[in-house]
A = this chain, B = another copy of it.
């Protein structure tokens, strides 16, 4: 940090090799995640050095970062290859994961829990339930072509959750083969309106890594989604755990819509 002043055409602080490697890794990470490399094979070291106008050590450090994230691996005689397929989930609309993923492979949901319970007070409040009121809890592990992508914990209001459980009791595999959004609309006949989504990144614990079959110490997108019926009433509150190494959220935003509500829309 020899010179904190920016100079037009010149550099600000002295960037280290680690800084340069981070930028190279950021660009490569996006290419890996959107499947930009033909056959899943990255360009060789020489090509990357030319492409990024970087030193051999910087390129090696960048590839090391992606290896540590579990996105690529070195394969003898082949080079650096992408370890697994990644999927994009559009955030700019309200649709279930399966609705999006079913065009990429066979989506199966393993039902881990489906029962009536008394939700935590903060969940009850967000769902507009009376204090002490019951909810339906649904926990599912979602796989595409056998690979776990998401562990979803869902609290539903009784008017929505109970018809859904009843339907699942009559028609086996209902919960296995359908998105919650679809289930809500078909089981209850109530159309959905909007959802409020909060996204954050967190390192996950060994138990969650094991369930999601991801490398220990990996990161997840922890998503909270409050979905409302068309009439504005909350329908369900979900806590989604999406594998960071396999799922990207995608959105298109407009400049026209400026920030107008400093208080935010979430409460309690």
**Which A residues are within 8 Å of any B CB, using their own CB?**
4-13, 15-16, 18-19, 21-24, 26-27, 29-31, 33-34, 36, 51-53, 65, 68-69, 88, 90-95, 99-100, 103, 110-118, 120-123, 139, 151, 153, 165-166, 168-169, 172, 175, 181, 191-203, 205, 207-208, 211, 217-222, 224, 230, 239, 241-242, 244-245, 247-255, 257-259, 262, 264-266, 268
Interface contact A100-B259, CB-CB below 8 Å:
yes
Report A31 CB to chain B, min CB distance, Å: 6
- Distance, CA A193 to CA B244, complexed state (A): 29
- Distance, CA A31 to CA B159, complexed state (A): 26
Taking A93-B257, A139-B23, A168-B6 as contacts, is the C-beta distance between A197 and B18 under 8 angstroms? no
Which chain B positions have C-beta within 8 A of A7?
114-115, 169
Which chain B positions have C-beta within 8 A of A181?
255
> Which residue on B lies nearest to A16, using beta carbons?
B207
Interface contact B122-A91, CB-CB below 8 Å:
no
- Distance, CA A196 to CA B239, complexed state (A): 25
Interface contact A18-B195, CB-CB below 8 Å:
no
Interface contact B12-A114, CB-CB below 8 Å:
yes
Interface contact A254-B94, CB-CB below 8 Å:
yes
Report A100 CB to chain B, min CB distance, Å: 6
> Which residue on B lies nearest to A91, using beta carbons?
B251
Q: Per a CB cutoff under 8 Å, which of B11, B22, B201 touches A219?
A: B201
Interface contact A165-B8, CB-CB below 8 Å:
yes
Interface contact B22-A205, CB-CB below 8 Å:
yes
- Distance, CA A191 to CA B115, complexed state (A): 52
Closest 6 CB pairs of A and B: A18-B207, A201-B244, A201-B201, A8-B169, A26-B239, A93-B257
Interface contact A252-B8, CB-CB below 8 Å:
no
Taking A12-B139, A169-B7 as contacts, is the C-beta distance between A36 and B222 under 8 angstroms? no
Interface contact B51-A120, CB-CB below 8 Å:
yes
Taking A13-B112, A139-B12 as contacts, is the C-beta distance between A175 and B222 under 8 angstroms? no
